[in-house]
Amino acid sequence: MPKWLDDYIFNELGAKYCRSNADMTVIDWDKSDMLNYLGTYFPRSYAEAYCIFNHCFGTYYNFFSDQEEISILDFGSGTGGEIIGLATVLSERFPHLKKLKIIPLDGNGFALHLFDCILSETRKHISIGLEGISSPIHIEDFYDLNILDRVIYGEYDIIISFKAICEFVTKQQFEKQNAYEHIVKFLMTKLSKYGLLLLVDVTTYNNTTNEWLPMMLDQGIVNANAKIVERNLGYNQTFQVTHSHKAYDVSKVAWRLMLNK
């Protein structure tokens, strides 16, 4: 993670490193909890997004090579580590790019406030213009997905969701139905032509559904008739990130990249 970003989240915002292995429902957390989340999971999401997109853009995907503006939607953005990681890669890979239009969606107001602060600081360190509109929205079940039509206008070149859908599974907000299936179906309709949808989630055994989350993820994508164009090998990929409060922190996630043709 860049030193300026490390300094800002830990020294300016007061982030704390505090790892938890329990099934998390971040949407309910208060300010203190979110500062722990910021110091622990923001760096991981940054590293995961940077590495995944750097790999994909470097190997085959070049549809954005001539675009001057890219629109991004983050479903369950939290404090936005994945957005800043993606923005960093885009600034490095696409020299013609001038602006990113970002909509972070999340139900936790503390998380969105922290993201707004980080986005403001990021503008000082990145060559691309960053236009962000935080959108607080709470989804209780699959019926509420229609509410997003009031927030999401038009189509998006890149849609991402990092370690957010697992919370719907844990809280059984989609009853006994596959949350990944419903969310993939909905988000695919919001992609522009040749747009990308990247889902990243934890690889744990979920104690609520008694299923491994990567298996639920894959079945949901199949049920949604979406096409995976790139994915990690096996059921997880290990990422390492080092920052001022933890050396070689390890994160294991499953990720699937889908393309709208």
- Domain coordinates of the chain in residue numbers? 3-259
What is the helix (H) or strand (E) element at residue 170, kind and residue range?
helix 165-170
CATH number of 3-259: 3.40.50.150
Can you give the pTM of this predicted structure?
0.92
Name, in order, each residue with C-beta under 8 angstroms of 151's C-beta and a sequence gap of 6 or more.
103, 105, 135, 137
- Mean pLDDT of the residues in the chain: 89
Q: 19 versus 202: which is more confidently predicted?
A: 202
Q: What is the pLDDT of residues 69-93, one digit of tens each?
A: 999 999 999 999 999 999 999 999 9
User: 258 and 197 in contact (C-beta within 8 Å)?
Assistant: yes
For helices 31-59 and 81-93, the axis angle rounded to 10 degrees is 30
Q: What is the pLDDT of residues 144-161, one digit of tens each?
A: 667 777 777 789 999 999
pLDDT confidence of residue 25: 52
Q: Which two tokens stand for residue 60?
A: 């085959």
Q: Among the residues of 60-164, which ranges form H helices?
A: 81-93, 109-122
Residues constituting the chain: 261
Residue 179 burial class via C-beta count within 10 angstroms: exposed 0-12, middle 13-18, buried 19 and up = buried
Q: What mean pLDDT comes out for the span 241-250?
A: 95
Q: Is residue 5 helix, strand or coil? A: helix
- The lowest-confidence range among 17-21, 141-145, 174-178 is 141-145
